[in-house]
Amino acid sequence: MTKTSILFVCMGNICRSPTAEGVFRTIAARTGLVGRVRIDSAGTHGYHVGSPPDWRATQAALKRGYDIAPLRARQVEVVDFTRFDRIYAMDRMNLGVLTDMQPKEFSGELALFLDVAPDLGVRDVPDPYDGGPEGFERVLDLIEHASAALARELSGDRK
């Protein structure tokens, strides 16, 4: 059995990418992918290294049954391109940063996370940091949908 390693990346690793990590961990557990996937998150910038997720992200996630409070922010490193098969950016700006740091020998997938769910009709997970609670709910809606699509893909179910 091949193990897939997935890294979710946003800017500071306190809103979108830890939400994606927490949601996908839960969905992976529900769909029998535990043991077949390794999941982590990071930020392209080191603003919040060592900090827990934003309290608003934690609160919104907890309301839907996802506990992201234990996660701690870290900055993405070049070595992550050897640790992970799939690196998913939350938006095009962070994808650009990752593309610039990507080693030539990286043979994995570097893409926008929402591209796994083209039916959503959007490609960027919006940054909720400067907005209200509805932004965090929108992030969860998008991430839940894309996480379910990714789990189906990894399970071999393309429905």
pLDDT in tens, 24-39: 999 999 999 989 999 9
This model's pTM is above 0.85: yes
Catalytic residue, chosen from 16, 25, 56, 86, is 16
- Superfamily of domain 4-155 in CATH is Response regulator (3.40.50.2300)
Residue-range domain boundaries for the chain: 4-155
Known active-site residue 16 = yes
State residue 158's pLDDT score.
Answer: 54
Question: Mean pLDDT in the chain?
Answer: 95
* pLDDT over 70 (residue 49): yes
Catalytic residue, chosen from 40, 54, 80, 127, is 127
Mean pLDDT of 97-103: 98
The percentage of residues in the chain with a pLDDT greater than 70, rounded to a whole number, is 97
State residue 98's pLDDT score.
Answer: 98
User: Scanning the structure block, which residue is given the tokens 């789990």?
Assistant: 151
Known active-site residue 127 = yes
Catalytic residue, chosen from 10, 15, 54, 74, is 10
The percentage of residues in the chain with a pLDDT greater than 90, rounded to a whole number, is 94
Known active-site residue 91 = no
Mean pLDDT of 129-151: 97
